[in-house]
Amino acid sequence: MEDIQTLSEYGTKVSDARKEFDAYLSNKAAAFLLILEHYFVELASFIGNHELQDKTKYIGRLVYPDLHKIEIDFDIVIVNEINRPRYYLESKCTTQYEYLIEDFKKKYIDNSVLMGMIDKGIDIQNVCSENDGNAGI
């Protein structure tokens, strides 16, 4: 995440992919896209609320482990679905899908670095300004 535009473009691509391919994906794969879209909305909201548009590179370094974990788990689901196709009907209007979304929210959103920063009210402006010259944030 070099700047706010890169973040916006990536979030838009995830949102567009979810809208376009949601009907063709399994519940698990669709849930990953929904959670990823939700994560980017929360991240954009956090950056906007704290006026951190110029600190996006640092925020990206802080939330990278969250995004990487979602990406790795999503890749595993996609590869498994490609290698072992199943032929059964799923609906996104079921309680099973709702439980899956709630489970993913707990696993990927509620326990994320981003939510930790939001919940604890970390003064990210000071953290970023103290480390402007350091690459090790």
Along the 137 residues of the chain, how does pLDDT read in single tens digits? 678 888 899 999 999 999 999 988 899 999 999 999 999 999 999 988 888 888 888 888 889 999 999 999 999 999 998 998 777 778 888 999 999 999 999 999 998 988 888 887 766 666 555 555 544 44
**pLDDT at site 76:** 95
Judge contact between 78 and 29, C-beta under 8 A. Answer: yes
**pLDDT at site 136:** 44
**pLDDT at site 127:** 56
**pLDDT at site 135:** 44
In angstroms, rounded to a whole number, what is the distance separating the alpha carbons of residues 92 and 78?
18
**pLDDT at site 58:** 87
Domain segments of the chain: what residues? Answer: 4-130
What b/e readout covers 35-45, taking b as 16+ CB neighbours within 10 angstroms? bbbbbbebbee
